[in-house]
Amino acid sequence: MGSDTNVEKPKPWVALATFLIIQTVLGCWWAAFYPGLFSRDSVLYLSHTVVGPWVSDHSVVYDALLWLSFTKTGDLGAVTFAQTTAMAGALTFLAQSLKALGAPRGLTTAVAVLMPLAPPLGAFTVTLWKDVPFTICVVAIAGLCARFAANRRVTGPGLAGLGALLLALGLFRANGFLVAGVAVVALVVVVRTMRVSLVLVGTLAAALPLALTNLILPQFGIAAPSKTYVYHTAYGDIAVAYRDRPDLFSRQDKALMTSVAPLTRWWWGGTCYTINPLIWRSDFNWQQADAHATELLDLWKRLLVEHPRLIVEARLCRGAIAWKPVQDPLMTGGATYRFSRRPTADTYVGPGKVPDFPGRWVYSLRPLSQELNQVAEPWLTGALAPEYDWALWRGASWAYLSYLAVALGAAARRNRYVLGVAAVVAGQQLAIMANISAQDFRYMASPIFIGALLVPLLLGSAGVLAVRLVRRGWHLVRPPRPEPTPAPEPSPEPEPEVADEPEPVALPEPGLEPEPEPQPATLPEPEPDEEPEPAAEPEPATLRDPGPEPAEELEPATLRDPGPEPAEELEPDDEPTEPLEAVKPTELVELAEPVEREQP
Q: Look at residue 11 in the predicted model and tell me its pLDDT.
A: 73
CB 41 within 8 A of CB 128: no
Number of helical H runs and strand E runs in the chain: 24, 0
Band the pLDDT of 590: cuts 50, 70, 90: very low
550, pLDDT greater than 80:
no
**pLDDT for position 542:** 47
- Cβ atoms of residues 149 and 114 within 8 Å: no
| pLDDT of residue 408 exceeding 80 | yes
Is residue 119 classed exposed, middle or buried when 0-12, 13-18 and 19+ CB atoms within 10 A define those classes?
A: buried
Segment 210-232 shows an average pLDDT of 92
**Residue range 312-317: mean pLDDT, rounded:** 96
- Strands (E) across 205-351 are located at none
Q: Are 551 and 507 in contact (CB under 8 A)?
A: no
Q: What pLDDT is attached to residue 474?
A: 81
Encode burial over 574-600: b for 16+ CB neighbours within 10 A, e otherwise.
Answer: eeeeeeeeeeeeeebeeeeeebbbbee
Structure confidence at residue 81 (pLDDT) = 98
| Residues 253, 96 contacting (CB under 8 angstroms) | no
What does pLDDT average to over the chain?
85
Cα(187)–Cα(449) distance, integer angstroms: 20
> What is the DSSP track for 504-550?
P-PPPPTTSPPPPPPPPPPPPPPPSSSPPPPPPPPPPPPPPPPSSSP
pLDDT for res 186: 95
pLDDT by residue (tens digit) across 89-129? 999 999 999 999 999 999 999 999 999 999 999 999 999 99
pTM, rounded to two decimals? 0.78
**513 falls in which pLDDT band (50, 70, 90)?**
low
Mean of pLDDT values over 500-518:
54
What whole-number percentage of the chain has pLDDT above 70? 78
The sign one gets for the Cα dihedral 394, 396, 400, 402 is: positive
Closest by CA position to 292, among listed 259, 249, 266: 259
For the chain, percent of residues with pLDDT exceeding 90: 69
* Secondary structure class of 345 (helix, strand, coil): coil
In the chain, where the domains are located: 12-223+345-465, 227-318
Helix (H, G, I), strand (E, B) or coil at 233: helix
Confidence of residue 514 (pLDDT cuts 50, 70, 90): low
Q: State phi, psi for 17 to the nearest 5 degrees.
A: -65, -40
Mean pLDDT confidence for 418-437: 95
What is the tens place of the pLDDT at every residue in 266-308?
999 999 999 999 999 989 999 999 999 999 999 999 999 999 9
Residue 589 has pLDDT above 50, yes or no: no
Q: How confident is the model at residue 405 (pLDDT cuts 50, 70, 90)?
A: very high
Q: Do the Cβ atoms of 7 and 102 come closer than 8 Å? A: yes
Residues 6+ apart with CB under 8 A from 68: none
Question: Tell me: the pLDDT tens digits for 134-181?
Answer: 999 999 999 999 999 999 999 999 999 999 999 999 999 998 999 999
pLDDT band for 7, please (50, 70, 90 cuts).
low
Residue 389 confidence (pLDDT): 95
Residue 488: pLDDT over 90 = no
Q: What is the pLDDT of residues 29-60, one digit of tens each?
A: 999 999 999 999 999 999 989 988 899 988 99
Least confident of 269-273, 476-480, 557-561: 557-561
Q: Look at residue 378 in the predicted model and tell me its pLDDT.
A: 96
pLDDT in tens, 245-263: 999 999 999 999 999 999 9
Select the more confidently predicted residue: 495 or 544. 495
Q: Would you put residue 535 in left (φ > 0), alpha (ψ -120 to 50) or beta?
A: beta
Question: Buried b vs exposed e over 25-44: b needs ≥16 C-beta within 10 Å?
Answer: bbbbbbbbbbbbbbbebbbb
pLDDT at residue 350 in the model: 77
- Residue 473, pLDDT score: 82
Q: Quickly state the pLDDT bin for 475 (edges 50, 70, 90).
A: confident
